[in-house]
Amino acid sequence: MKIFVTGATGFIGSHFVRAAVKQKYEITALRYPGTSPVISVADNLEERAQITWIDGALSDVASERMAGIDALVHLAAAGVNPKQASWDLCFDVNVSQSIQIWRRAVSAGIRRFVICGSCFEYGLSGERFEFIPTSAPLEPSGAYHASKAAATMSAIALCVENQLALSILRPFHVFGEGEGPDRLWPSLRKAALAGEDFPMSPGEQIRDFIPVEEVAQAFLRALATRHPIPGKPLLANIGAGKPRTLLEFSQYWWNHWNAKGKLLPGALPYRPNEVMRYVPEVSPL
């Protein structure tokens, strides 16, 4: 199968490309000029030959570059890092530019779409569920969250209008190699390996942490599944199905790395408007 991958150098994107290469997919991968994958995506010359790189933004890709492609895997997004989550940037990339490339893909004859949504589309409604179903209302509470929800609505409309086979996957709390350095898991590892103490909130927040490698495999399964009926989008929550508190998660990895410093729960306050439980009803794929 020939696939076109956006966001191919990002956290989830790099792991997905690496996993897709192992499955012998022929990949055309879009990367923003000057970027490179956050992990190695190929182990040898044969695997590297399976990947054709295109440099540019989403809006730069012409329909002709997607001719002969069987499926589009859309992983590109702006604003995942809250420090970069301006309203203008998030809606330009996650909505406007994404719609542009999806429509060009349709023009190129692509009928199969797998799109990365976000658990944060649920926003405030997530507080009302012990396990958040895919049918939960979307009540986003920030620029990134709102733009991803708007992108989902746009993709669904495009799917219905053009009778596309569409899967939208919403990963929950993804962690692993290549994750942004300011995130919990990399920050925890850095302190542990340096022998430093790690100040954190009390850590009572309950989350579903899932390794990025498992998320990449979920996208591969979605790509291969025959479940999506043209014009009937499939929405799926991606999680490990093992709710844990932040403190439990941190203690596990702290012990795993044989950290010499101390975890300091309660040294930092909770974030404003912290959601204490945000756990999905995991969807089978």
Looking at residue 78, what is its pLDDT?
Answer: 94
Looking at residue 163, what is its pLDDT?
Answer: 97
Q: Is 117 exposed, middle or buried (0-12, 13-18, 19+ CB in 10 A)?
A: buried
Looking at residue 81, what is its pLDDT?
Answer: 79
pLDDT digits (tens, 9 = 90+) for 145-187: 999 999 999 999 999 999 999 999 999 999 999 999 999 999 9
d(CA 147, CA 89): 10
Looking at residue 42, what is its pLDDT?
Answer: 95
Which is it for the CA torsion 90, 94, 95, 96, positive or negative?
positive
* Positions in the chain whose pLDDT score sits under 50: none
Looking at residue 273, what is its pLDDT?
Answer: 81
Looking at residue 25, what is its pLDDT?
Answer: 97
Looking at residue 84, what is its pLDDT?
Answer: 72
Return the CATH number of the domain spanning residue range 2-175+209-238: 3.40.50.720
Rg (CA), the chain: 19
Looking at residue 89, what is its pLDDT?
Answer: 95
Tell the CATH topology of 184-206+242-278: UDP-galactose 4-epimerase; domain 1 (3.90.25)
pLDDT digits (tens, 9 = 90+) for 123-139: 999 999 999 999 999 99
Q: Is 135 exposed, middle or buried (0-12, 13-18, 19+ CB in 10 A)?
A: exposed
Looking at residue 228, what is its pLDDT?
Answer: 80
Looking at residue 83, what is its pLDDT?
Answer: 72
**CA 60 vs CA 21, 66, 68, 108: distances in Å:** 25, 12, 18, 15
Looking at residue 274, what is its pLDDT?
Answer: 87
Looking at residue 12, what is its pLDDT?
Answer: 98
- Closest Cα to residue 80, out of 163, 174, 5, 153? 174
Angle at 186 between CA 31 and CA 192, to 5 degrees: 155
Domain ranges of the chain: 2-175+209-238, 184-206+242-278
Looking at residue 189, what is its pLDDT?
Answer: 98
